[in-house]
Amino acid sequence: MNAPLKNADLQARKNAATPRGVGVMCDFYAARAENAELWDVEGRRFIDFAAGIAVCNTGHRHPKIVEAIRAQLDCFTHTAYQIVPYESYVSLAEKISARAPGRHPKKTAFFTTGAEAVENAVKIARAATGRPAVIAFTGGFHGRTLMGMALTGKVAPYKIGFGPFPSDVYHAPFPNPLHGLSVDDSLRAIGHLFKADVEAKRVAAIIFEPVQGEGGFNPAPPEFVRGLRDICDEHGILLIADEVQTGFARTGKLFAMEHYDVQPDLMTIAKSLAGGMPLSGVVGRADVMDAAAPGGLGGTYAGNPLAVAAAHAVLDIIDEEALCERAVALGDRLKAKLDTLKRDVPHIADVRGPGAMIAVEFCKPGTREADADYAKRVQTRALERGLLLLVCGVYGNVVRFLFPLTIQQEVFDEALGILEDALRDKIGAAA
């Protein structure tokens, strides 16, 4: 009989077998998970407010997703869609195109990872415009591939030691009122790029996140998004909304761009699209999506049938369980809790985010100086009591909340109690 697995033994094996560049936050190892809870190999329970970095909006192992994958396993697991296609890919593309914002005709292509979706969105934009340059924003995160890193506006840990990066990628500041950057500042900076760095007629696309993810859950103000649309329309530039993290009910809408009164030309999607299975996509204006020549888009595993089956189930679950509405209700409850705690926790500088894409930013009391140490302490205190939280932000001073939208109410209430203790620094006394 095999000896029970131990976290310490697995950690030693991990350190010997895998490179340090694959950074791992936790020193314990998952054994099983269900909805918003997971258990490690030693039987310890954790409430998961990370959800695989926004992948499990529908929770771990939702029964309908498990059943959809099982049913597909009985048919086939891989043909390569570009060799032998299958109806489920086509019907999923129809569903995504119909539900993406915008009344114009749309088409959808599927890939495997969020970074792949971003890379292909840039390829499509370049093919459609005949232009090379792309503008992105400080604090943005668009992946770990070479183009993804070039677009990403955060150096540590994503860019250190990996240059040089592709040329014709430019960055403008993203609005951040807490740190003194207004919408006008950001839009003027794009105009300055056109004067000092790249002429507008060489720019294929502007890419932005409706709510920045790794950058600190900074929502794009409506007037900023309108300003981007105006700039793009004036200069024949395509607007790409990176919805890899914001999509599939996280912000209280199926897509975050539904919060705005303008439409993007292209959108990238991934993460919660397939409830834990690797699947991403690009959806956009049909004429733009058709710009690439046959064979220019795709990938061996792009649109994997198991992942596509899971994605069909995800869309059904979001509708049947009213997860957009639940995201708003849970997010409002969390924000109310954090706003109440502001009186007693002077490190709380800002609470923000739409729907259930909520973050709390910490600064040194009475200042706007980022306090990354405090954010890390909150994360550590919470983990001691079994609540898994993620830190983000350009300055590392933001805690973001990515709980499954299917979380049981009693588990959510338990997590809020742990969070309050962590913020009040009561973990040691309670342990």
**pLDDT of 428:** 46
Are 155 and 190 contained in the same domain?
A: yes
Are 315 and 328 contained in the same domain?
A: no
Residue 19 domain-assigned?
A: yes
Are 283 and 423 contained in the same domain?
A: no
In a 13 Å sphere around the CA of 355, the CA atoms on its Cβ side amount to: 31
Are 424 and 293 contained in the same domain?
A: no
User: Do 171 and 135 contact (CB within 8 A), yes or no?
Assistant: yes
Are 331 and 302 contained in the same domain?
A: no
Are 90 and 168 contained in the same domain?
A: yes
pTM of this prediction exceeds 0.85: yes
Residue 207 domain-assigned?
A: yes
User: Do 211 and 251 contact (CB within 8 A), yes or no?
Assistant: yes
**pLDDT of 429:** 41
Of 113, 112, 88, nearest to 315 (Cα)?
A: 88
Residue 184 has pLDDT above 80, yes or no: yes
**CATH code (residue 287):** 3.40.640.10
End residue of a domain, out of 258, 293, 320: 320
Are 280 and 158 contained in the same domain?
A: yes
pLDDT per residue over 319-364, tens digit each? Answer: 999 999 999 999 999 999 999 999 999 999 999 999 999 999 999 9
End residue of a domain, out of 320, 346, 366: 320
Tell me how far apart the alpha carbons of residues 38 and 49 are, in angstroms, rounded to a whole number: 11
Are 279 and 353 contained in the same domain?
A: no
pLDDT level of residue 3 (50, 70, 90 thresholds): confident
For a pLDDT cut of 90, what percent of the chain falls above it? 96
Give the domain extent around 330.
7-62+321-430
Residue 425 has pLDDT above 90, yes or no: no
Residue 311 has pLDDT above 70, yes or no: yes
Are 223 and 146 contained in the same domain?
A: yes
End residue of a domain, out of 320, 341, 367: 320
**pLDDT of 1:** 64
Residue 343 domain-assigned?
A: yes
Q: Is 163 left (phi over 0), alpha (psi -120 to 50) or beta?
A: beta
Residue 301 domain-assigned?
A: yes
Residue 161 domain-assigned?
A: yes
**pLDDT of 2:** 77
Are 78 and 178 contained in the same domain?
A: yes
Are 76 and 195 contained in the same domain?
A: yes
Are 337 and 270 contained in the same domain?
A: no
**pLDDT of 245:** 98
User: Do 415 and 49 contact (CB within 8 A), yes or no?
Assistant: yes
Residue 1 domain-assigned?
A: no
Structural element, H or E, at residue 336: helix 323-341
**CATH code (residue 30):** 3.90.1150.10
The residue type of 243 is: E
First-to-last alpha carbon distance for the chain, in angstroms, is 35
**pLDDT of 156:** 86
Summarize the confidence of residues 392-402 as an average pLDDT. Answer: 96
Rg for the chain, CA atoms, rounded:
22
Q: Give me the number of domains the chain comprises.
A: 2
Residue 2 domain-assigned?
A: no
Q: Please list, in sequence order, all residues whose beta carbon lies within 8 angstroms of the beta carbon of residue 20, skipping any fewer than 6 positions away.
A: none
| CA–centroid distance for 20 within its chain | 23
